[in-house]
Structure 1
Amino acid sequence: METDTLAMAQEIDFSFMALFLRATFTVKLVMILLIIASFWSWAIIIQKSIGFKRARGESTDFDQAFWSGEPLDELFDQIAGDPKGSSQKIFSAGMLEWRRSHRQDGGLIAGAQARIDRSMDVAISKESESLTHGLSFLATVGATAPFVGLFGTIWGIKNAFEEIAMQQSTNLAVVAPGIAEALLATALGLLAAIPAVVFYNKLSADSDRIVSSYEGFADEFATILSRQLDS
């Protein structure tokens, strides 16, 4: 009897596709949802990793140009029409307000320093929002995917018990397929959640460092303009 049961169990196809096709509609829906969430998460991860690397490179290149000794007015004239990187946009925002704060007689309108700082803060806020866009999805996937997978597992186990009751048998050939299908949902949930959590933490830290570098540059630039105002 046990030999026959083992032989029947060995004949069952436990491949991913076979488990998916044998699952109930609800469990299939859970699996599809988790697979889509996983692919979407990886798309965001790859996109953000490339974007952050490009942002760091653009910031480094602009810092070299900014501290090269070239007059700031000439540097602004070169990039004002088409600022490419975030640092250039922040610099352009400050320089644009600096020029607007000059009266026709060459004097400065009162409150120029505050307006320049505010202009750069707005530019930094916009760039920060762009950097962090999409990271909330990774956080959501990391927090909910295990529970979605667990729901699929519980539903699958429920159906497995119903199959046991219908077959009136608890042998391995009856129990194994249903349990395997149910556990696959949990595995997919973890497969979606673990990379999402890991890369959410990493990308959030990278974003904070990049924004900090923008804020540091803005402070240095504001200091330079403040000297000009005082003189």
Structure 2
Amino acid sequence: MLDADGLVIRPVIGAGKPLGVWDFRDSPRPVDFRRALVAALAAQGRGWGSEDTHRSNAGTLRLLFKDAAAAEPPVAATGQITVEWWKQWAGDIHVRRVLAAVVRWAPGVPEATRVFFQTPRRRPPAWRGRPRKQAHTRALCDPDRDRAGDVGRRTPDHSRCHPACANISRTDSQITALRAEVARIDAAADAGLDPYPIAAREQQRKAHLATIIRRHDARQPANTEPTERR
């Protein structure tokens, strides 16, 4: 997903369907600063199933690099992303505030900034009184969303669904595949080769998959068939 130079992201979904190419080689700022944030974007993006989501966040990150270069004094390292600087940069602009979910995983971000990102924020004044948007509703679920070769996805991928939603009940074979994915994540963690942002994102994904598996197992009906004598 991330090129060897750490500045180009090539996300894919499912059996290898590409979700665009996001190149940060021509963005301003020191290369180590860019690599840290691009790696965080790549790690966070593993849970996204939409090219539009990648495009929006990549565009916002490019803007961050541009504004960081123009800041006084310039922001040239993740350690300089202070709470004060972030508040001034993000303001009440939604797409900038959303990028906090990416930036918080970058190595070197001050602990105070990381805690600020993880603390629920009050809604901007302009948004108050409006109904809150949900990720999706049952009416938006697309029965063909997992079709092979589907290029018209209109709903979130399963990783963004609430695990209790009845619309995403899994079959036993799907749960077997999820168990295999958990085993793969465990093996990668034991190898210890992934950089911190990717490893942290994978552990988040493992926890999400474990919740799905646990709920599935809890719903299994008891076996009431008499045991066959042998």
**TM-score, shorter chain, exceeding 0.5:** no
Task: Say which structure, 1 or 2, has more relative contact order (CA 8 Å, 6+ apart).
Answer: 1
Structure exhibiting the larger radius of gyration computed from Cα positions: 1
